[in-house]
Amino acid sequence: MIEIVSLRKEYDNITPLTDVNAVINDGDIISVIGPSGMGKSTFLRCINMLEKPTSGKIIVNGQDITAPGCNLQKIRQKMGMVFQSFNLFSHMTVIENIMAPQTDLLRRTRQEAYDEAVRLLKLVGLSEKAFSYPDEMSGGQKQRVAIARCLAMDPDTILFDEPTSALDPTMVGEVQAVISELAGTGKTMIIVTHEMGFARAIANRVFYMDEGGIYEEGTPEEIFESPRKEKTRQFIRGLKVLELTVREQRFDFLGMQTEIESYCRKNLIPYRMSRHLHLAFEELVQQILVPGMDRPDIFCSIEYSEKDEKVLFSVSYGGDEIDMSGEDSSLALSVLKSAVTDLGHEVSAEGARKNHVSMTILP
């Protein structure tokens, strides 16, 4: 059990943590979420004393690890950490990376360390990479090696600080799958992540951090479906709704597609649906609407409802109504129709953007 009592961390110019209190039970899987800069990483680094708290206590199985003279190396062996940037030794092969801490810190023989490394590589699905060097591997593979190396110390607790945020989107799933496997093994895990679908699926408790501490905590269902406090509500709503505004002919199309991509990832929107959403945005906004406007004023809203597993895409625009079935856009319209259903068009009497197009993205 880990008890965190009135934890405070000040830096020279900023105090990210003013008063953090929590009791983390053995076997808890905790997702830590919240806006950038709210002290999530600082919180994790304080828990294993990589960062020295300004005040407060961290009590691990009855022992106050903030007390002077505490054997931090021993504590850290029982509390592994996985970082965004794998931190593997590039001059060592994969298996040596996993063996080294075992022989150095746990005094295991090379044979014992080797056997354990082989077992762990199998666990993370990388048996065939034992003698590769980190530079010869993909980001997802490197992160799985980093997880194996952490497990080699047989920690009771693992702290993950955004373990998938440095990865190419195609590799996020493999690393999340390995972490999910571990969640069933009784280890305590604290995971800081911006991938909300994952945060929700894996945890039994969610901490939302804001205002210098754990602003709200609850079950995944409570936090993601019915948060009680104002800032949590705003944050959760911001995750579920993506808003994009187009105000120029030569708008940043690729940038917006990237935002849509990251929105789909955060919400674990299935691959096909995400392709359809990209298509709908491209055909409707870039192919049909923008070319007919001198000064575009287009507002797009994308909203995912997890309950119905539906993505609603609505677009409002100013100026005259654009004939979507006109000759120039007929190809774009038929592509659009292959990706969406319930395509509706309305014109309202008032407002700057009177034209409204709405649709449901096909699964």
Ligand X SMILES: Nc1ncnc2c1ncn2[C@@H]1O[C@H](COP(=O)(O)OP(=O)(O)OP(=O)(O)O)[C@@H](O)[C@H]1O
Which residues contact ligand X by CB under 6 A?
A: 11, 14, 16, 36-42
Look at residues 162, 5, 21, 150 and name the one whose alpha carbon lies nearest to residue 76.
Answer: 150
Which of ligand X, Mg ion, none is residue 142 near (CB under 5 to 8 Å by kind)? none
| Closest C-alpha to 168, from 149, 134, 142 | 142
Residue 355 interacting entry, from ligand X, Mg ion, none, C-beta within 5 to 8 Å by type = none
Is 267 one of the binding residues for Mg ion (CB under 5 A)?
A: no
The single-letter DSSP state of residue 188 is: E
11 vs 89 by CB, closer to ligand X:
11
Nearest residue (CB) to ligand X, 52 versus 122: 52
For residue 162, the minimal CB distance to Mg ion (Å) is 6
Nearest-angstrom CA–CA distance, 195 and 200: 9
- Amino acid at the residue 161: D
Closest CA to 82 of 115, 50, 127: 50
Shortest Å, Cβ 151 to ligand X: 24
* Partner whose binding site includes residue 14, from Mg ion, ligand X, none (CB under 5 to 8 Å by kind): ligand X
Min dist. Cβ of residue 14 to ligand X (A): 5
89 binding partner (options Mg ion, ligand X, none; Cβ < 5 to 8 Å by kind): none
Structure letter (DSSP) for residue 354: -
Region of 39-47, 68-76, 91-99, 258-266 interacting with Mg ion (CB under 5 A) = 39-47
Q: Tokens 């911001």 appear where?
A: 238
Q: C-beta of 53: minimal distance to ligand X in Å?
A: 13
Nearest approach in angstroms of CB 271 to ligand X is: 26
Looking at residue 287, what DSSP letter applies? I
Instruction: Name the residue nearer to Mg ion (CB basis): 39 or 134.
Output: 39
39 vs 220 by CB, closer to ligand X: 39
Return the residue matching tokens 């056997």: 115
Query: Which residue, 97 or 143, has its beta carbon nearer to ligand X?
Result: 143
Number of residues that bind Mg ion (CB under 5 A): 1
Distance in Å, CB of 100 to ligand X, minimum: 27
Structure tokens at 152: 């080699």
Q: In this complex, which beta carbon is closest to Mg ion, that of residue 193 or of residue 329?
A: 193
Which of 31, 32, 41, 121 is close enough to bind Mg ion by CB under 5 A?
A: 41
CB under 8 Å, gap of 24 or more: what pairs does 334-340 form? 335/279, 335/283, 336/279, 336/280, 336/283, 336/284, 336/288, 338/279, 338/362, 339/275, 339/276, 339/277, 339/279, 339/280, 339/283, 340/276, 340/280, 340/313
Burial classification of residue 199, based on how many CB atoms lie within 10 Å of its CB (0-12 exposed, 13-18 middle, 19 or more buried): buried
Stretch that binds Mg ion, among 40-48, 106-114, 178-186, 194-202 (CB under 5 A): 40-48
Q: What is the DSSP string of 294-340?
A: SS--EEEEEEEETTTTEEEEEEEE-SSPP-TTSGGGHHHHHHHHHHE
Nearer to ligand X among residue 36 and residue 90 (C-beta): 36
CA-wise closest residue to 142 among 83, 194, 198, 193 = 83
CA–CA separation, 110 and 73 (whole Å): 21
> Shortest Cβ distance from residue 238 to ligand X (Å)?
14
Q: Which is nearer to Mg ion, 84 or 103 (CB)?
A: 84
Nearer to ligand X, 263 or 317 (CB): 263
**Least gap, CB of 274 to Mg ion (angstroms):** 26
CB of 195 to ligand X, least distance (A): 12
What count of residues does the chain have?
363
Residue 11's binding partner out of Mg ion, ligand X, none, with CB under 5 to 8 Å set by partner kind = ligand X
Binding site for Mg ion (CB under 5 A): 41
